[in-house]
Structure 1
């Protein structure tokens, strides 16, 4: 392993004064090998700091936290700075402060892989989302490591979706009608449309696309997904806009019903996390992400001199995560056993076992990644049968935070997840987003600042009728619910598809009723759809029924 920069270039990162003080052999080793703070006196500010990265760092950050900003400081004044390296299993951190400041500045310390300092600094910079050999080398390594995970499914060829894109030559892409008997590897794409796609597949152009889809007709995000698929050594890619005939409702209904199979059986799902529009693409560093490290010398304990890269903690621009706010994308990510995430700041890998930057860097892993299917225990439960219920509630709460371009897709975009849980609860019925075996408690969902849709998409007793986050009622934990559900049903746009768009719904319950006063102060932020259950105290059963 050799340093990226020769000695002269490393020395020129700082001024002679800093080189002979902080970065001298004795001083730097003392800072590195002791846990105590080391005091350092800066040089007078009248001397230029433009050519010294360390002086510039002090001017920009440390003096900003004092009661006398640099712009008002006497140019001949010097400052005392306290330095300290903090080391743990996550990596190395440099902390600095002045005696006059209450603010302690922290910096993540990382090293390039080919720098001699990498032997002593375990943290690496993240791999940016660019079309490079380094990116795909690490991505393939993650996939190879995933094959050894006990919890992750085996990588095996699967039945291809009805239609796929042939990516064997990224410059000559065509639409392929799959052979139902064939077993092949394929990737899937999860992304935000964000705008119209005028060249999506229709009944009028499907024959032309089966010969060739001209590059000018393929949006940049899809082009990038084609490149990723090809670089991973996979031939086929499934993308909704090209693999579903977008002008035929029947074809869309049939293909959407297969979403769970498509994503759960794919080799890998490519997720364009930081891309808001399909025309943007994702194989490039995002302009909204600020990544400006401070490069400084690093004297290794065993003698060689390398460099270290400092990133200010907590003050970097947060990565942009467009897909995390979209309902369709959440379902696709939950259903996918393996995801390659092209974030605005880095490329990450996610499976049933891990969520990591592809090169193992610990930097900026902020993503609140969703639960994967099959579900795993996230809360301690004494009764194993409660596990799936808790998992369903968590996924549902995450889903209802997401947005949809078309309101009518509220239940449709959740169909794949519902189908999975139906396999866990085969004796139950799925009705407008609710499970009958969880009645009547399932009717006690609540929402905070939810908005009911004016266009019908679900009955009023279903959470799907509301836009906004929903959760289980607190009443479930405090009261025993006493009622009988006599009748529950819904009409479906596509008969035979239990998870398709809902056209009507009916619920009949039987319970006792009694006079009560609604406490608007206590419950003003909670809108329960079955209010009568919250006042079942001193219950007296009677032969009355109520239809909602």
Structure 2
């Protein structure tokens, strides 16, 4: 709204807020009457300027339905600004020339970005944030650093060509979406010689995607030289080069000076709004609420990221793993680092020690922490954000999360098997969908094992979310788990332990804060061997020709790892749908019914619809045991009744050699007498 030539007075209600004090005020909630009255004061003559601002915010918030009737209020919060129900947006004062605090202060945004401001943000971060925001410098493989990428290629924006980086070269990385088609020009075996010649991108500029061109120009504008872009720095038709790059994606982004996040638009030609004249239309309403006192609406960085970038799977890890980001939205640029957030329309960069907490209304993507004390739990939180995002190729489900997995695995001192951490495998295998629903969509992802989160569309939670205390969790691994996990590899079908002493030597011995197995020469999982295993076979043999033929045939067909192990299994009579309106229905926990219909546990089905026509009995693997249930399935049910973690399985084919997972649940220890005969059975399982 433009400034009024003749400003109407504030209504009697808004006069009590004393807007003349601008942002020089303490936290306080102000009553506005009712929402009906606010709307009336904003639309009926004489229109109250502050009520007009409030109504504009409501109308454009996407939450207008919350503000139709009932008591109305607005709150000045400690983090600065007038807030309603959410934390990710507020009303602030346009007081750049007079502000004594950044909290609740704002400034006018110009149509074209100010490169000097971008340089200032990076410099302030370097000056004030220290180690927390300092990029790593070990991206390239050397004799001293064997874990880096073999070859790091960069776009030299000065010489306009692709070059091979040297250790210590400083670069920015670009995070963007391709869209439905491939770029006209990519780095391929046939274009490598062309694109490494000086001036190559100048000669072929019209073929370079607009977003990449803008990023190249931005790099020079802020006084830098090198840029990393996936399509031009990885040889797209060379599997070895692509695999090396994808498996080191965490290092590429962690080692970049800053990552440019192209969050606006739906493809690689959307550009970076504001980099060039006439490339963006800034939408910034200015409201004069008192003579000479203007206000505007401020949105946090994650609220402003509404483009395709925030919905694509690949782009999430690029945000999570970076130390610093320059986020380009439709009409704003944000600098978001691991310590703070500076923006074009706020004044926090003028008060660099003040922390901007106006970030999101619930959709914040957390940065990875270099010294995360709870890496397993953090990974589940990242998976929760990742799982709903879209992939062009479902086969990239794990690839798109590999950077985060690699990052976490180093902190967890673990290997990775089909997306699961091998040093705490009994934890990782306990994963589920928070709210599975009966659906016609294909939720089984056939390119991945059924025992992995990647094998099901929607799995985004797991027991790891509750694993904070290393001491108690390690005690659980040592005393409450019992399966000797083996894997069968596609191609060779070789039988290997999932974890043992040699794996620990490869990934590093755990310290007292690490949740992981402590293998010994006598037990690869470092457990106190339970007496019930005495006399039982725990290592599979390969001497059954028919079984081996089926396993090798299925491995060849499926092309992913199988698990091969011995475990106790039980059989229940039926699965019963949760009662309508109950907490169990909300969490979609089906009850397990034993003899005489007695409830003996519960299960979260991976695909409830697929199980609707499957009649009992149903078989479950007893995975591990717990002393109490603590609301794991997104319910509020808690009890101290000991139980077994259990996996619902279905056998594939008439031979019943290969099984697949169908759900994760629990069976009460004291219900072993009501499971179907013959009770607990020690069985060899090959899990695909």
The verdict on a shared fold, with TM-score over 0.5 as the criterion, is yes
Q: Which residue of 2 aligns with 1:527?
A: 605
Partners of 2:155 and 2:161 within 8 A in 1: yes
Which residues of 2 match residues 134-153 of structure 1 at below 5 A?
A: 136-138=116-118, 140-153=120-133
Q: Which residue of 2 aligns with 1:432?
A: 418
Task: Give yes or no for the alignment of 1:189 onto 2:149.
Answer: no
Q: Which residue of 2 aligns with 1:76?
A: none
Q: How many residues align?
A: 475
Deviation at 1:241, TM superposition (A): 0.9
Which residues of 2 match residues 200-279 of structure 1 at below 5 A?
A: 200-211=186-197, 212-213=200-201, 214-279=204-269
Go from structure 1 to structure 2 and tell me whether the alpha carbon gap of 1:53 and 1:119 turns closer, same or farther (over 3 Å shift). farther
Match of 1:421 among 398, 408, 419: 408
Corresponding residue SS for 1:250: helix
Deviation at 1:243, TM superposition (A): 1.1
Q: Which residue of 2 aligns with 1:504?
A: 560
Deviation at 1:20, TM superposition (A): 13
Which residues of 2 match residues 247-326 of structure 1 at below 5 A?
A: 247-284=237-274, 291-298=284-291, 306-311=292-297, 319-326=305-312
Distance 2:430 2:83 in 1: 51
Distance 1:208 1:290 in 2: 42
Match of 1:400 among 374, 377, 387: 387
Deviation at 1:216, TM superposition (A): 0.6
Go from structure 1 to structure 2 and tell me whether the alpha carbon gap of 1:54 and 1:204 turns closer, same or farther (over 3 Å shift). same
Structure of greater relative contact order (alpha carbons < 8 Å, 6+ residues apart): 1
Partners of 1:188 and 1:237 within 8 A in 2: yes
Which residues of 2 match residues 158-177 of structure 1 at below 5 A?
A: 162-168=152-158, 173-177=160-164
TM-score, with structure 1 as normaliser:
0.71
Q: Which residue of 1 aligns with 2:653?
A: none
Distance 1:324 1:510 in 2: 43
Deviation at 1:458, TM superposition (A): 1.5
Task: Give yes or no for the alignment of 1:90 onto 2:79.
Answer: yes
Structure 1, gaps ≥5 residues long: 1-9, 65-82, 96-105, 299-305, 378-386
Q: Which residue of 1 aligns with 2:683?
A: 544
Deviation at 1:46, TM superposition (A): 13
Distance 1:94 1:431 in 2: 46
Go from structure 1 to structure 2 and tell me whether the alpha carbon gap of 1:521 and 1:45 turns closer, same or farther (over 3 Å shift). closer
Deviation at 1:235, TM superposition (A): 0.7
Deviation at 1:395, TM superposition (A): 2.1
Task: Give yes or no for the alignment of 1:373 onto 2:382.
Answer: no
Distance 2:298 2:465 in 1: 45
Deviation at 1:87, TM superposition (A): 4.5
Corresponding residue SS for 1:519: strand
Structure 2, gaps ≥5 residues long: 60-71, 141-150, 349-355, 468-475, 495-505, 507-557, 579-588, 591-602, 607-645, 650-664, 673-678
Corresponding residue SS for 1:530: strand
Distance 1:354 1:310 in 2: 22
Q: Which residue of 1 aligns with 2:323?
A: 337
Deviation at 1:280, TM superposition (A): 0.7
Distance 1:536 1:21 in 2: 64
CA deviations 1:269-322 (Å, max 9, x no partner) are: 111122321101122399898542323444xxxxxxx331243999xx965143
Distance 1:453 1:482 in 2: 29
Corresponding residue SS for 2:576: coil
Partners of 1:440 and 1:483 within 8 A in 2: no
Superposed CA RMSD: 4.9
TM-score, with structure 2 as normaliser:
0.58
Go from structure 1 to structure 2 and tell me whether the alpha carbon gap of 1:536 and 1:188 turns closer, same or farther (over 3 Å shift). same
